[in-house]
Amino acid sequence: MHVDSPDNVEMHTVVAAEGAILERILDTTYPALHQDLSRQAFAKFDAAQRKTAWALCHQRRFALVEGADLLASAQRYDFSGTIDRQRVSICGIGAVCTDPARHDGCHARVLVERLIDDARRDGADLALLFITTDRTCYAPESFEVIPTVDVELKVAESSRYGAPMTLVRSGEDRDLAAIAAMGQARASQFRFHLDRDVDLVKYVITKKRLLAGLGSAGVRQLQFVIAEEGITAAAYIVVSIVDRTWTIEECGDRDPSGARVGAILQALIAREPVEQRPIIRGWLPPGFVPPQITIVSARPSTEVMSGRFLTGAGKQLRLSREEVLYWRSDVF
């Protein structure tokens, strides 16, 4: 098996993933990243998300090649965010994959480091990396883990909870400005968060809709639901549904207690057969537990988020879970 050494790293080239190289990347990454899509649907999902307004400006895929050999691939995302009340430019790296025949992770680490070097030259202040727990060997040693926790929830069904007169409807594009404003208000309480504008919110919801729409009939559903006050969105929730498992991708509420989010969940559950109550999971911001909700269990997420500063020699993030606001829908 070929393994990189300091003598041959210089022979590797980072190129934009286009044309035939992109097709090879899709073939290579499909087994790990397919999310229950067919190979054809997987390609459509990739192409459609890259055509969104946010992705056209902020998302690129790259490959590490040596001659005609594809060694590794990854996607780079350009975000803005806030840490310690300072605006920062963030390079996000995700969908890191390597040739299945090369299990040591060396080529993936080389590509990640090259992308970080490029981002630093572009003026990025911070790098974020998402990998799964079985691929931590892809992460350079200098990255610090940023804790994320999967929680399982129980929703009370008693009519004395929540806001029974809350109007609930499907979410629309006209709601995105209110959703972004809700997110900004809650995010200000945390040391670290992404700055989620309307285009980014639309992008992540569109990705979830594409996953549901391109999959086999009935395999995955998406619920994007709004609670209104007058004609304005006062709360919302985005839920992916696979079998009996509901995953809260993100949610928001103008009420700091989150009572409207709890009411939306109660309304959605009331539509389900009594004998088939769902298992509800997700990432919730620390301290955000609507009055209708009880946290049944919590465990470290299988999606590992890590980061490092790109400016300031030796500067460390040192972020605890309580200091971070990050939604599952923003996993890249």
Q: In the prediction, which pLDDT does 274 show?
A: 72
Question: With bands split at pLDDT 50, 70 and 90, how would you rate the model's confidence at 3?
Answer: very low
Express each pLDDT in 16-27 by its tens digit. Answer: 999 999 999 999
Q: Tell me if domain 9-148+303-330 and domain 149-300 are identical in fold.
A: yes
Question: With bands split at pLDDT 50, 70 and 90, how would you rate the model's confidence at 122?
Answer: very high
Q: Which helix (H) or strand (E) holds 216?
A: none
Q: In the prediction, which pLDDT does 5 show?
A: 42
R_g of the chain computed on alpha carbons: 21
Cβ(73)–Cβ(28) below 8 Å: yes
Among the residue ranges 112-116, 222-226, 230-234, the one predicted with the least confidence is: 230-234
Q: In the prediction, which pLDDT does 4 show?
A: 42
Mean pLDDT of the chain, nearest integer: 90
Structure tokens at 306: 């890590």
Q: In the prediction, which pLDDT does 162 show?
A: 43
- DSSP string of 30-57? HHHH-TT--HHHHHHHHHHHHTSHHHHH
Q: At what angle are helices 39-50 and 19-33 packed, to 10 degrees?
A: 120
Q: Say what percent of the chain tops pLDDT 90.
A: 78
Question: With bands split at pLDDT 50, 70 and 90, how would you rate the model's confidence at 7?
Answer: very low
**What are the residue ranges spanned by the domains of the chain?**
9-148+303-330, 149-300
Q: In the prediction, which pLDDT does 159 show?
A: 59
Question: Residue 332's Cα: distance from chain center in Å?
Answer: 5
Q: Which CATH superfamily is 9-148+303-330 part of?
A: Gcn5-related N-acetyltransferase (GNAT) (3.40.630.30)
Question: With bands split at pLDDT 50, 70 and 90, how would you rate the model's confidence at 104?
Answer: low
CA dist 146 and 320 (Å) reads 7
pTM: 0.91
Express each pLDDT in 175-230 by its tens digit. Answer: 999 999 999 999 999 999 999 999 999 999 999 999 999 999 989 999 999 999 88
Express each pLDDT in 38-70 by its tens digit. Answer: 999 999 999 999 999 999 999 999 999 999 899
Q: Say what percent of the chain tops pLDDT 70.
A: 91
Residues 6+ apart with CB under 8 A from 180: 196, 197, 198, 201
Structure tokens at 71: 């060694």
Residue 105 predicted with pLDDT over 80? no
Q: Which fold has domain 149-300?
A: Aminopeptidase (3.40.630)
Question: With bands split at pLDDT 50, 70 and 90, how would you rate the model's confidence at 103?
Answer: low
Residue 293 predicted with pLDDT over 60? yes
SS3 label, residue 211: helix
Residue 72 predicted with pLDDT over 70? yes
Q: In the prediction, which pLDDT does 8 show?
A: 57
